[in-house]
């Protein structure tokens, strides 16, 4: 008798019992194949009977409820994921996958579908939806507070789902469901890494925070692909292991039919996407080859950037060559149009270099430095134009340091505008330019007065430090400090002697040059005035 190792040990007499063979195996002409099928069928029936279905369902169900721990782990996983994506660090992204608790509710939905438990479906769906919304919101908040909002390679990799992503989710879900059923739940960690539910959600939050709907839509499609595939695969595995269900035979048939249709519905657009990606890969290779063929072997193709999203396709390339080829672009366009069957525009930047081994490398470095200088100049010009327009100044009144991301603008004098208005304008500009240190230099308008009672010497000496902190945090002092730092001019303080001294000390403690200029014991107001930087005399109001 042909049988697999271990089958006879499990049930030695079942493999030869022809009465227990499935009816359709009688159609097999070869007895050996019939014996093999009988042994496999018997072995599988034994495996399914050896599963504690109640314990498995209780274990999965325990991971499907919303709880404080679940919400906390969602936030921690989302935070690690978005930081790893922004920094383009795969290791950090993997750490987020290890923490993500979203696998529990999705497996719960799958097993609930297989068993027909409507209450369980509702509980798992609620936990999944709340967890996903929390992750997206938390990631969007981090992105809004972050000075880095560039689409990195790790983010871009999760914006174009394809058929391979569906297969990854399918295999991972089957492995995860098997691990839960067979009592090997620790392998769920590896499944979480492969399926990667949290990073797509983090990218959704990134797209929402930056209003990039291409990133948002692509990442959301990837998450939905993983979600549906895992849930349906878990349901399929539960059905294979014959988990007891409350479904009738007709309902079971319709459910199986629905699972097949859902997989087909997912596979068709993802297959089209994969086909497009494969075509773009082949087209990129053809573009590279066509451009290389226009130059001598000693020429070096430094950079090539095809843009397949436009029609005609735009291609920009950089080549270091011993001899300039004036017809290279036209020849490459004709070759590629014939090979790709689409119209294409080719733009080649040619840099003439010698034939020495180090000439190309030197030219490459020079080109990179030139590109970096050009990028910085463009950024400097854009920032200067924007600040000059908002501040009502000329571009010459704006100083931009792109390396340090600091921009300083000398604002024009606006009618009836005081220092508070210029400070508010600076804050509004800074809010629209995250990651930049915006410094607006206002005209030397009148400084605010300070109430003498605010700077009065406390009766209890022990409260002096507390009173000084209150004075430093007051609105007039904060505004005067801001203006002094922007204008760079000392401040004179006049009023009751003790109060004036305390105000001068409060200003000095925050880096402002301040001195008491006159005493007026009868005044209930402390006046602040600009002093001339050279002679210490009162300046303009």
Give the chain's domains with CATH numbers.
Answer: 7-41 (no CATH), 53-246 (1.20.1080), 279-366 (3.30.70.1350), 380-441 (3.30.300), 450-530 (no CATH)
Q: Among 218, 226, 233, 161, which Cα is nearest to 192's?
A: 226
Lowest mean pLDDT segment, chosen from 95-104, 218-227, 375-384 = 375-384
Residues 6+ positions from 467 with CB-CB distance below 8 Å: 458
User: Whole-angstrom Cα distance, residue 467 to residue 458?
Assistant: 7
User: Whole-angstrom Cα distance, residue 36 to residue 34?
Assistant: 5
What is the distance, to the nearest Å, from the Cα of residue 380 to the centroid of all Cα atoms in its chain? 26
User: Whole-angstrom Cα distance, residue 255 to residue 249?
Assistant: 10
Extract the tokens encoding 259.
Answer: 């699972």
Using the 8-state DSSP alphabet, how is residue 355 labeled? S
Backbone angles phi, psi at 412, to 5 degrees: -75, 155
Extract the tokens encoding 483.
Answer: 């203006």
Reported as a single tens digit per residue, the pLDDT across 388-446 is 776 666 766 777 776 677 888 787 777 777 888 888 888 877 777 777 788 888 888 88
pTM for the model stands at 0.51
Cα 198–Cα 182–Cα 20 angle in degrees, nearest 5: 135
User: Whole-angstrom Cα distance, residue 20 to residue 37?
Assistant: 11
pLDDT winner (highest mean) among 82-86, 304-308, 414-418: 82-86
Residues 6+ positions from 172 with CB-CB distance below 8 Å: 191, 194, 195, 230
User: What's the full length of the chain, in residues?
Assistant: 541
Residues 6+ positions from 465 with CB-CB distance below 8 Å: none
Are 134 and 75 contacting, i.e. CB atoms less than 8 angstroms apart? yes
Scan for tokens 């210490």, then name that residue. Answer: 536
Scan for tokens 């107001």, then name that residue. Answer: 525
User: What is the model's pLDDT at position 253?
Assistant: 67
Are 259 and 128 contacting, i.e. CB atoms less than 8 angstroms apart? no
DSSP 77-137: HHHHHHHHHHTT-HHHHHHHHHH--THHHHHHHHHHHHHT-HHHHHHHHHHHHHHHHHHHH
- Helices within 18-89 (DSSP H only): 31-49, 53-62, 68-86
Scan for tokens 């924007």, then name that residue. Answer: 386
- What number of other Cβ atoms are within 10 A of residue 269's Cβ? 15
User: What is the model's pLDDT at position 187?
Assistant: 52
Are 362 and 302 contacting, i.e. CB atoms less than 8 angstroms apart? no
Extract the tokens encoding 360.
Answer: 């190309």
Question: What percent of the chain is predicted at pLDDT more than 90?
Answer: 2
pLDDT winner (highest mean) among 32-36, 120-124, 266-270: 120-124
Helix (H, G, I), strand (E, B) or coil at 33: helix
Q: Based on C-alpha coordinates, what's the Rg of the chain?
A: 36
pLDDT > 50? residue 215: yes
User: What is the model's pLDDT at position 466?
Assistant: 58
User: 398 pairs with which residues across the strands?
Assistant: 409
The mean pLDDT value for 477-497 works out to 86
- What number of other Cβ atoms are within 10 A of residue 313's Cβ? 20
Percent of residues in the chain assigned helix, strand, coil, to nearest 5: 60, 10, 30
User: Whole-angstrom Cα distance, residue 174 to residue 179?
Assistant: 9
User: Whole-angstrom Cα distance, residue 130 to residue 201?
Assistant: 12
Torsion, Cα of 334, 339, 343, 347 (10° steps): -60
Lowest mean pLDDT segment, chosen from 134-138, 368-372, 464-468 = 368-372
Strands (E), 411-475: 437-441, 450-451
Pairwise pLDDT comparison (377 vs 72), residue with the higher score: 72
User: 440 pairs with which residues across the strands?
Assistant: 409
Using the 8-state DSSP alphabet, how is residue 24 labeled? G
Q: Among 102, 101, 80, 100, which Cα is nearest to 91's?
A: 80
pLDDT > 60? residue 155: yes
User: What is the model's pLDDT at position 12?
Assistant: 39
Contacts by 270-275 with C-beta closer than 8 Å and gap 24+?
270/161, 270/162, 270/163, 270/165, 270/166, 270/225, 271/162, 271/163, 273/160, 273/161, 273/162, 273/163, 274/162, 274/163, 274/164
The mean pLDDT value for 15-31 works out to 47
- What number of other Cβ atoms are within 10 A of residue 206's Cβ? 29
Distances (CA, A) of 115 to 109, 239, 263, 350, 506: 10, 8, 20, 66, 72
Strands (E), 171-242: none
């Amino acid at each position: 008798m042909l049988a697999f190792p271990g089958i006879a040990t499990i049930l030695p007499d079942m493999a030869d019992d022809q009465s227990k063979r499935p009816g359709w195996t009688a159609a097999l002409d070869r007895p050996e194949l019939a014996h093999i099928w009988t042994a496999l069928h018997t072995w599988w029936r034994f495996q399914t009977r050896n599963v504690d279905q109640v314990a498995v369902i209780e274990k999965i169900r325990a991971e499907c409820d919303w709880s404080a721990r679940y919400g906390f782990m969602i936030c921690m996983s989302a935070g690690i994921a978005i930081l790893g994506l922004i920094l383009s660090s795969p290791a950090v992204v993997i750490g987020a996958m290890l923490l993500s608790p979203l696998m529990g509710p999705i497996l719960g939905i799958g097993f609930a579908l297989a068993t027909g438990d409507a209450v369980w479906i509702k509980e798992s769906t609620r936990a999944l939806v709340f967890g996903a919304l929390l992750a997206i919101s938390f990631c969007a908040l981090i992105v809004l507070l972050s000075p880095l909002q560039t689409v990195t390679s790790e983010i871009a990799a999760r914006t174009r789902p394809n058929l391979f992503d569906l297969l990854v989710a399918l295999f991972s879900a089957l492995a995860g469901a098997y691990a839960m059923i067979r009592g090997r739940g620790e392998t769920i960690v590896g499944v979480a890494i492969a399926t990667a539910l949290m990073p797509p959600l983090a990218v959704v939050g990134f797209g929402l925070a930056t209003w990039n709907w291409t990133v948002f839509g692509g990442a959301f499609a990837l998450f939905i692909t993983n979600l549906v595939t895992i849930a349906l695969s878990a349901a399929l595995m539960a059905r294979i292991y014959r988990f007891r269900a409350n479904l009738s035979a007709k309902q079971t048939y319709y459910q199986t039919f629905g699972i097949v249709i859902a997989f087909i519905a997912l596979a068709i657009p993802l297959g089209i996407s994969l086909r497009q990606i494969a075509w773009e890969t082949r087209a990129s290779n053809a573009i590279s080859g066509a451009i290389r063929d226009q130059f001598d072997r000693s020429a070096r193709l430094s950079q090539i950037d095809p843009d397949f999203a436009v029609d005609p396709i735009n291609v920009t390339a950089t080549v270091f060559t011993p001899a300039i080829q004036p017809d290279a672009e036209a020849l490459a366009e004709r070759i590629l149009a014939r090979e790709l069957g689409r119209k294409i525009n080719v733009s080649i930047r040619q840099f003439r270099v010698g034939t020495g081994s180090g000439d190309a490398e030197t030219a490459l470095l020079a080109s990179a430095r030139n590109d970096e200088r050009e990028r910085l100049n463009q950024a400097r010009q854009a920032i200067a134009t924007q600040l000059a327009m908002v501040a009502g100044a000329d571009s010459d009144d704006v100083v931009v340091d792109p390396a340090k991301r600091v921009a300083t603008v000398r604002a024009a004098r606006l009618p009836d505008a005081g220092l508070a208005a210029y400070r508010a304008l600076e804050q509004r500009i800074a809010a629209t330019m995250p990651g930049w240190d915006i410094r607006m230099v206002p005209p030397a308008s009148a400084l605010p007065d300070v109430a003498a009672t605010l700077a009065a010497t406390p009766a209890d000496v022990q409260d002096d430090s507390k009173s000084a902190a209150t004075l430093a945090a007051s609105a007039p002092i904060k505004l005067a400090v801001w203006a002094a730092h922007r204008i760079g001019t000392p401040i004179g303080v006049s009023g009751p002697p003790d109060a004036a001294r305390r105000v001068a000390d409060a200003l000095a403690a925050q880096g402002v040059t301040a001195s008491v200029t006159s005493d007026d014991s009868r005044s209930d107001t402390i006046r602040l005035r600009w002093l001339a930087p050279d002679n210490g005399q009162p300046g303009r109001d």
